[in-house]
Structure 1
């Protein structure tokens, strides 16, 4: 039996849609030029068409096994860890706040530790009292040179299989802490992040390519120390900033998984366990002038992160750009409100949107699958260009990476000057002056600028 609506709306291929678009456009004399006007020439280096149909998957470059390859490497299990971040000041009082945070919906924690303590064992014992690291993943941002001391202290304070890890750039201590925690496979000691590139103004293509190049340098260093790719991959976290371009950011995280498989195939032909991806909402697009509008950005970014397939998600509070709160500050009602709202975004996406019930919900979308493929190829090309220059460190030292990021940033600024809207900055603005400044954790400090797009207009 033929469905009723099939007789009313017969099938139409993409060429029929194009004919209809051109016939109904304001100017039919321009032919393909009118269609070109509707296309989006992205800063990522490729063109996005006004619409996509099933033919883009059935007849285009994705028609082969490539589409199956893209989908096969995405997350197989739905859900993510709701992972708020705190900066530790006073271990005893902070412990109360951490336990309360976990009781109110957090699944994991990120803790930025204070300067190296005289007795780290005692401090960690007070800080983690009542928090079992074999059940609750805790990720640490230790101070420089503190990683080995921290891991050894954790072995005493929490003598069981740990969950969580270290969110620090690869350095001379990484190989040793990886070996020290070999009996805790879910405690990840290798971290490569995209935040420095993102906050310098990177396009999605640049963010993916430079993150991959940074990972290549890290793996070269670690394999030279005697570790194998089979030891490295399960202990690696990719920490990625997620911006406001909703569909592009979904595709960015999906493309990252494809790129990682392509990258690791150079080390081993055997399949490796999937990489752990931590997503965090962006501060690059946040506004100080009207910080409440950052709630809109954070919600969009968080939804893109989970649909894109992050394993853990950190949502920055809407007022974080005014000054990153400490745990002690969270006792104040205003900061407690913003921290609660940030934590609840993940909870709402789970309990009201049911996004934790489906793995890779965007699979099969004509638009997102095409966008994912375009990002993979553009980022891989740029990554190979960096490798041809001798790798990430050399490309950074030569000024190539900073030059590319500067061009991308200035293009973003110019787009706003030409009329692109920044909600709470160029429209719907209600100034709320503040003298505080947010400083993003981690990154390649002193080399790449830490920016906010709105700064030019506030």
Structure 2
């Protein structure tokens, strides 16, 4: 069947469009300079054209890209809570689950009373992800209160912990090996985590973020397999936790590229995963503003949409006031947490994005960007591996130097006029609330990689 009005609007190839562009730009220059001005020279090191056609897909490994993507729709709406008071936190958690949350992330202290905290919450039915400083002690407590199969896991990245605190990497890896062996009775409870948040918050590009995530995972797998854990078990126990920033299409493609590369990465282990790594995404705090904080609602919505369009399995939307001093915002905390939770619900229940597994599949632009990001990140990952892996490449100063340059480039772009809404333009200082310090008190020691927030220098 012929497309409607095909006789009036015949198909044209890309070269015809480019010719028309030159004409519209009133240029007869053979070097195509006016068209060059429309091309985006990204921080990732490649160029993005202003227009793509079906012809461009002919040059891509499209079947490989799409086969790597998420095959089932939907995600878990998973708010995160720092736990300071078990009784009040239990009420908050149960209320959250009644009002749209599907799972929970809990940041715990060593002294927390899990019996009181998790009262009425069944770990066999509700996925709960834990952040804790002593994972062995946490598992011992879980065994006492819930001796059945758990869902969720540990969001404890030993390499990120090393970079944040400067403490022993080997001790942290040994803890992960022990808890992975101890949690074999709960196949839905993941104990291995590689995260990109510290790279993202240090100012990395999307390419650097993916490459560093893969390199840090490779270092973990090397240690854990040497400790006697089979690679198939590790894959099934792995969570990849990723920050999602404000560059909508880049972030969408970043997650799709990550799925392509994790498949390529695992093929080098000659392993057929029984259960693929879980991808957890959280909205970025790197771009959040303390000035005019309600603008963070818009950032979080864009980031959350990019995350689900990119295929996340678990989504955490940070409250808009997450970067503010919490003691000054406690009165608004219930409101900001509810709004954050509802962003995910709106994307699922009103935008119907939970009905489609890979919404961006077939987009000429997104497919091309996915391929460009994947190849750029893979090349950097191989460079890191040739230097001896993540730990050696970081210790030599290579990784921190590359990320620092990327961060300074982002800062300079703002100084040169790139708009941070609510900070450098359209600003309204709402009250006297202060931002949190960039380095949280519990992490102060000898951080090896800085934790930045881009608007901070301009507020």
How high is the TM-score relative to the length of structure 1? Answer: 0.93
Aligned length: 442
Alignment of 1:9-20 (within 5 A): 9-20=9-20
For the Cα contact (< 8 Å) 1:324–1:439, is it kept in 2?
A: no
Equivalent residues of 2:235, 2:273 under 8 A apart: no
For 2:6 and 2:333, the matched residues in 1 are separated by 55
Corresponding residue of 2:454? 453
User: How far is 1:443 from its partner?
Assistant: 9.2
Rounded to whole Å, the distance in 2 between the matches of 1:40 and 1:278 is 29
Give distance in 1, aligned partners of 2:148 and 2:263. 31
Query: Which residue number corresponds to residue 5 of structure 1?
Result: 5
- Deviation at 1:216? 0.4
Q: Which residue is 1:38 aligned to? A: 38
CA contact (8 A) 1:169 1:443 kept: no
Instruction: Spell out, residue by residue over 1:406-436, the C-alpha distance to the aligned partner (whole angstroms, 9 max, x if none).
Output: 1000111111122211111111101234334
2:230 pairs, out of 228, 231, 240, with: 228
Change (3 A) 1:436 1:3: closer
State whether residues 250 and 308 of structure 1, in contact with CA within 8 Å, keep that contact through their aligned partners in structure 2.
Answer: yes
The match for 1:150 is: 138
Report the counterpart of residue 435 of structure 1 in structure 2.
434
Matched, 1:295 2:297: yes
Distance 1:291 1:26, change over 3 A: farther
Structure 2 counterpart of 1:105: 100
Q: For residue 21 of structure 1, give the secondary structure of its aligned residue in structure 2.
A: helix
Aligned to 2:423, which of 422, 425, 431?
Answer: 425
RMSD of the alignment, in Å?
1.8
Which deviates more from structure 2 when the two are superposed, residues 439-448 or residues 12-21? 439-448
Counting only pairs closer than 5 Å after superposition, residues 98-177 of structure 1 correspond to structure 2 as 98-114=93-109, 116-117=110-111, 123-143=113-133, 146-170=134-158, 171=172, 172-177=174-179
| Alignment gaps of 5+ in structure 2 | 159-171
8 Å contact from structure 1 (residues 307, 361) kept in 2 = yes
* Aligned partners of 2:232 and 2:272 also within 8 Å: no
Q: Is the 8 A contact 1:22 1:31 kept in 2?
A: no
Q: Indicate how the Cα distance of structure 1 residues 443 and 222 shifts in structure 2: closer, same or farther if over 3 A, else same.
A: farther
Within a 5 Å distance, the mapping from 1:32-431 to structure 2 comes to 32-58=32-58, 60=59, 62=60, 66-114=61-109, 116-117=110-111, 123-143=113-133, 146-170=134-158, 171=172, 172-324=174-326, 332-431=330-429
The SS at the match of 1:449 is: coil
2:23 paired with 1:23 = yes
TM-score by length of 2: 0.93
* Structure 1 CA distance for aligned equivalents of residues 319 and 30 of structure 2: 48
Q: Deviations over 1:215-257 (max 9, x none)?
A: 0000001000011110100100000000000000000001001
Match of 2:165 in 1: none
> C-alpha separation between the residues in 1 aligned to 2:128 and 2:85?
17
Which contiguous aligned blocks of 4+ residues in structure 1 show a shift greater than 2 angstroms?
Answer: 1-4, 26-31, 269-273, 432-436, 438-445
Change (3 A) 1:340 1:392: same
